[in-house]
Structure 1
Amino acid sequence: MTHLAPVLIESSTILLPVRPPETVSMRTRDGVRLDADLYRPDAAGVWPVLLLRVACGRRTALTSHYAHPRWYAARGYVVVVQDVRGCGTSDGRFRPFEAEREDGADAVAWAASLPGSSGVVGLYGCGYAGMAQLLTLAAAPSALRAVAPAFAGWDVFSDWAYEGGAFRLADAMGWALRMAADSARRVEDGAAHRALSDAALRLPLDDEIPSRPQALRDYARYAPHYDDWLTMPTPGQSWDALSPRALLADMPPDVAIMQIGGWFDPRLAGTLDAHDALAGRSRAPVRLVVGPWTAAGPQDGPSLDSLQLAWFDRVLKGEASQAVERGRAVRLHDVEAGRWHDLPDLPAATTAFWLSSDGLATRQGGRLSPEPGELAELDVLVHDPRGPVPALGGHAVPDPGRFDRASLDRRPDVAVYTSLPVSEPLRLAGRVALDLWIEADAPSFDVNAVLSVLRPDGRVLPLTQGHARVEPGDPTRPLTIALRGVCATLAPGSALRLSLAGACFPAYPINPGTGAEPGETRRVDALPITLLIHSGPDRPSRLRLPLPLPLSRDGEDHASASKGGMMGSAGPFAAATRQTSRL
């Protein structure tokens, strides 16, 4: 296995002078005017076009994730930054995702005809702009040659509105408030803008109905999609009409695709799903890069620009890049070792670690073992809505990332299961899932699962997370929870830890236990819920990991590992100590 850093070098093209930006406009097929800023080299010749279509205002968009468009123009591109319908200075009404397929196709055709264009177009952008790229891809505009969606997802229902059946409270509310404030600004409604922007800065989660705060009730006209999302808690045709997952289901794209994800981006699960779906049927190159970034922007590691420039140079200009050429389809950043791994695909969760305890996982801690337990065991966890387990870092909160959760794991309403420490480096790379035998004394309940590394110094740093809302009648024998993906090499002395709780607030609403929708649930409606977590031969709760062969200390695959990896023995896990305390 090679460990290659993503492309860090810039294009070897001599930097070109750049003309002052021009404001240009186009008309969509239904006559709506869309405004854009145009940047192009001040030199003779034609160049590929890079088109960025944003919902947050084209000037604001230039301050977050990417280099200024002048940077790309100086390296031989025409760059167009466009306000989508109903945003910035563009005409029309903003309804999330509804018009991006047709508007995107019209924008690509228009951009290909701009002065200085070579007639080929690449799309880039993150978040909403990333989803707009995938929706444009579904329209198959002839001039489109490459897309580079970042932090985008794949399905509006499961990547933007809900996760595991639970409403994405903090994420969805924060975005709705920001978009509503921008809509109020466009019509110069000062009172609405002030109330909505203040609420966006400090989410009004203490309102009587936490999922439907007063600011969004008073000014629902500026974010009508939020109520729609709250009242459609199950997948269906309305969601499919907005989602690349459904619109690209039977389409083999001819466009080169490089998806960029971050380990603590709220839409990573969809990014992984999109790669699996597109790589299996695309006739053009498909790449996936998951790095140490969050949806808020680069936190560490290479810039998105260095990745994109080499990609666009390769697929739009035909310029060979050694790093791009030698890279494999999947490139993952190792959050523990700090280096990169290249893989042919994303490994599945195939290696089981079994949960067991003495019935005291919420007090002394239980065990994660590579072999199933022989005795039937039961852990009791009580969720109290008056003091729900708070969200700390992870991917679904306003402040995402890796934060020490050791104190959180000591709470009596959190059950923890810890492995033995590893005696040699051990790499996890790929998908993670949990099969949990669980029941409750309420018709509906939530389960939040966090996989962390327990370091020798006692810090507990999250690797990945999953959440599930169980509605009345849902199967729980077992309940399967997807924990997204992971890439981490455990150092000797480190251990794995699984933490389970009945809440993760405000990432997701507090479950009242009744089965009521979050938009109808008042704070006073929530009741305590008792959860029973089973393990043992008849109800074998287990964590499934993407665990390849152990690594030697030089980081390469360990040639002497026994057949079957961790399934049949303790492998690299030290047998001398049992680390089951909660530290």
Structure 2
Amino acid sequence: MIDLLDSASPLPTPLPVRPPETVSMRTRDGLRLDADMHRPDGPGSWPVLLMRVPHGRRAALSTHYAHPRWYAAHGFVVVVQDVRGTGTSEGRFRPFESERDDGADAVAWAASLPGSSGAVGMMGCGYAGMAQLLALAAAPPALKAVAPALAGWDVYEDWAYEGGAFRVAAVMRMALRHAAESARRVDDGTAYRALAEAAARLPTDDEIPSRPKILRDYGRYTHYDDWLTTPVPGGYWDGLSPRAALADSPPDVAILQIGGWFDHRLAGTLDAHAAWSPRIPCGLLVGPWGEDGWAGGGAAVDVDRLHAAWFGRVLRALPLPDHRPVQLYDLLARRWSSADPWSAGRPVVLHLGTGGLADRWPGSGRLGNAPDAPGLDVVVHDPWSPVPALGGHGSPADGLADRAALDRRPDVACYTMDAVVHPVTLCGGVALELWVEADAPSFDVSAVLSAVMPDGRSLHLTRGHARVEPGTSTRPLTIPMRATCATLPAGSALRLSLAGACYPACPVNPGTGAEPGETRQVDAQPITMLIHSGRDRPSRVTVTVTDG
């Protein structure tokens, strides 16, 4: 594998490129899928880069990648295809349902196009990343490499739900955009305008916030109700997810994954890497990015040069030089690291302790190396003013946001460790065990781990969320939190912040146990949570430390 950040090796001299051609194929069930093909202008054959997109092949994910013409000039036949039911391709769009078979058919077809060498690689981010993995599950012989970015690999956990809570903002935005496209395809201008406007400003202030009127009126254009009303993993979700097909039988291809610390699908990206890396060539690059990608992430990476160099070698069956296959961006030190946190890190347990006013006075809640005396904090979640999502993943302002003001709210309990004397690097998994109970059959817990800087800023590092359904054991409640990579500078400290909401990333829990799609704003009630700590009920957060 190539050093993923090495952009010094020269690319071939750019070639002249032919004007793009519209080319079409037929799926195994007879539908026409349309694509744009870009290829070098000259004799010879070249490997194929296939990108299958749901948002229009002419745009070609140019928000994240160079135009296909650039890749064609560097020695590839580039094919950008509208997936089933989008753009000018035939059929009905249902997210992920047809991408395994359609993807395998598209790979075989692309391998036979004029100018193709017969070797195909796939690239793309988000939905286009999942489309690669689903095609990979079908094992088409011509597919030699994939480079999914910001994709995850499990639709339930990475796309639809988090800790049992519906990802209402992310799923609603996706559904409205695709519904607008479906309305456009049948020339329903009224529906298109209404859906496009709703996608720009999510209607989460509706009488039923998780199932607003516009989605009730135009449900025929979208998958939203299927996802909203299927809150349990397995079954339906396994049929959509590459995880179910690829976890136990890794594919025989080269894989390059790109993830973002603030992409809500990061956990699946890391899980896939952990499953595949011991057995196949598997690169991983994780930067300071959310779902919008690396254009504004603050870490200079020439992603296009990286892809051209990597695909150029693996699709031409050239030997790969010595490599650093894992590259992780340190959020606070603002530098790249090639350390392998899954083998080099060690777990450090930090216990919650309190003087009983962790929601009122920052010094009352503590994180320490040993259990403290028994303690109790009382946090009241008020649905009139739910704690908003800020920073991290799944919020309107994702990333390394300063949440110091949010931590001063009386419905947020904060636990802060003593400042570190020397720099300490966290790199790897984070987990929370919380002894908590509430006066309602159902409630939510949103947990944020942040770095309190010497100047008072509280910078969001990672978040976890759990929806407690009636009858769920909370002795303790395990809340998976996402991995992170950050070096705490001297004088800084870790802080754990706990609240009863993270809105609109997840719906406000009404406390009744009712499903989100059946919950009206008027149904929501205040919920009082009791957070226990100390020797008898040792609430604690575990972080992975690589030095210090």
Q: Deviations over 1:396-428 (max 9, x none)?
A: 123322221111000000001111111111111
Aligned counterparts of 2:50 and 2:358: Cα–Cα separation in 1:
52
Aligned counterparts of 2:14 and 2:227: Cα–Cα separation in 1:
47
1:151–1:271 contact (8 Å) kept in structure 2: yes
Q: Deviations over 1:337-384 (max 9, x none)?
A: 111111345357721011101011101134444422341111111000
**Deviation larger for 115-124 or 349-358:** 349-358
2:365–2:413 contact (8 Å) kept in structure 1: no
How many Å apart are 1:61 and its aligned residue? 3.2
SS at match of 2:449: strand
Identify the residue that residue 286 of structure 2 maps to in structure 1: 290
Indicate whether 1:364 and 2:357 are aligned.
Answer: no
Q: Deviations over 1:408-466 (max 9, x none)?
A: 00000000111111111111111111111111111100000111111111111101111
Equivalent of residue 236 in structure 2, options 235, 238, 241: 238
C-alpha change, 1:345 and 1:45, in structure 2 (3 Å) is: farther
Aligned counterparts of 1:368 and 1:313: Cα–Cα separation in 2:
52
2:367–2:415 contact (8 Å) kept in structure 1: no
Alignment of 1:124-523 (within 5 A): 124-223=123-222, 225-280=223-278, 282=279, 284-298=280-294, 299=296, 300-301=298-299, 302-319=301-318, 325-328=322-325, 330-344=326-340, 346=342, 350-365=347-362, 366-523=364-521
Aligned counterparts of 2:4 and 2:32: Cα–Cα separation in 1:
42
Aligned counterparts of 1:308 and 1:501: Cα–Cα separation in 2:
41
Q: One-letter code of the match for 2:307?
A: Q
2:4–2:306 contact (8 Å) kept in structure 1: no
Identify the residue that residue 113 of structure 1 maps to in structure 2: 112
C-alpha change, 1:491 and 1:136, in structure 2 (3 Å) is: same
SS at match of 1:206: coil
Equivalent of residue 524 in structure 1, options 522, 528, 536: 522
Aligned counterparts of 2:241 and 2:10: Cα–Cα separation in 1:
34
Q: Deviations over 1:137-159 (max 9, x none)?
A: 10000001100000111111111
SS at match of 1:503: coil
Indicate whether 1:548 and 2:546 are aligned.
Answer: yes
SS at match of 2:205: coil
Q: One-letter code of the match for 2:406?
A: L
1:5–1:339 contact (8 Å) kept in structure 2: no
1:349–1:430 contact (8 Å) kept in structure 2: no
The count of residues paired between Structure 1 and Structure 2 equals 541
2:447–2:497 contact (8 Å) kept in structure 1: yes
How many Å apart are 1:118 and its aligned residue? 0.8
How many Å apart are 1:242 and its aligned residue? 0.6
Aligned counterparts of 1:154 and 1:5: Cα–Cα separation in 2:
21
SS at match of 2:267: helix
Q: Deviations over 1:463-505 (max 9, x none)?
A: 1111110001112111111111100111111111111100011
Aligned counterparts of 1:479 and 1:307: Cα–Cα separation in 2:
42
Q: Deviations over 1:285-319 (max 9, x none)?
A: 01211112221121222132233223212311245
Aligned counterparts of 2:372 and 2:387: Cα–Cα separation in 1:
31
Alignment of 1:19-38 (within 5 A): 19-38=18-37
Identify the residue that residue 565 of structure 1 maps to in structure 2: none
How many Å apart are 1:79 and its aligned residue? 0.5
Q: Deviations over 1:207-266 (max 9, x none)?
A: 00000011111111110x110111111112111011111121332310111111001111
Identify the residue that residue 564 of structure 1 maps to in structure 2: none
Q: One-letter code of the match for 1:372?
A: A
Identify the residue that residue 16 of structure 1 maps to in structure 2: 15
Aligned counterparts of 1:37 and 1:260: Cα–Cα separation in 2:
25
Aligned counterparts of 2:177 and 2:302: Cα–Cα separation in 1:
26
SS at match of 1:237: coil
1:423–1:493 contact (8 Å) kept in structure 2: yes
2:330–2:336 contact (8 Å) kept in structure 1: yes
C-alpha change, 1:417 and 1:345, in structure 2 (3 Å) is: closer
1:372–1:540 contact (8 Å) kept in structure 2: no
Q: One-letter code of the match for 2:160?
A: A
Aligned counterparts of 1:188 and 1:6: Cα–Cα separation in 2:
46
Aligned counterparts of 2:341 and 2:81: Cα–Cα separation in 1:
34
1:452–1:463 contact (8 Å) kept in structure 2: yes
Identify the residue that residue 58 of structure 1 maps to in structure 2: 57
TM-score normalised according to structure 2 size: 0.96
**Deviation larger for 422-431 or 392-401:** 392-401
Aligned counterparts of 2:189 and 2:61: Cα–Cα separation in 1:
25
Identify the residue that residue 42 of structure 1 maps to in structure 2: 41
Identify the residue that residue 68 of structure 2 maps to in structure 1: 69
SS at match of 1:476: coil
Aligned counterparts of 2:543 and 2:39: Cα–Cα separation in 1:
48
Q: One-letter code of the match for 1:468?
A: A
How many Å apart are 1:321 and its aligned residue? 6.6
Identify the residue that residue 534 of structure 1 maps to in structure 2: 532
Q: One-letter code of the match for 2:93?
A: F
C-alpha change, 1:117 and 1:345, in structure 2 (3 Å) is: farther
SS at match of 2:545: coil
How many Å apart are 1:270 and its aligned residue? 1.1
**Deviation larger for 364-373 or 374-383:** 364-373
SS at match of 2:420: coil
**Mind listing any 5+ residue stretches in structure 1 that lack a counterpart?**
551-583
How many Å apart are 1:103 and its aligned residue? 0.3
SS at match of 2:547: coil
C-alpha change, 1:373 and 1:470, in structure 2 (3 Å) is: same
Aligned counterparts of 1:178 and 1:543: Cα–Cα separation in 2:
38
Structure 1's consecutive aligned runs of 4 or more residues displaced over 6 angstroms after TM superposition are: none
TM-score normalised according to structure 1 size: 0.90
Q: Deviations over 1:23-65 (max 9, x none)?
A: 0000011111000000011122111100000011111234311
> RMSD of the TM alignment (CA)?
1.5
C-alpha change, 1:176 and 1:9, in structure 2 (3 Å) is: farther
How many Å apart are 1:521 and its aligned residue? 0.3
Aligned counterparts of 2:319 and 2:337: Cα–Cα separation in 1:
21
C-alpha change, 1:234 and 1:349, in structure 2 (3 Å) is: farther
Q: One-letter code of the match for 1:455?
A: M
Aligned counterparts of 1:10 and 1:508: Cα–Cα separation in 2:
45
SS at match of 1:386: coil
SS at match of 2:446: strand
C-alpha change, 1:294 and 1:374, in structure 2 (3 Å) is: closer
SS at match of 1:343: coil
**Mind listing any 5+ residue stretches in structure 2 that lack a counterpart?**
none
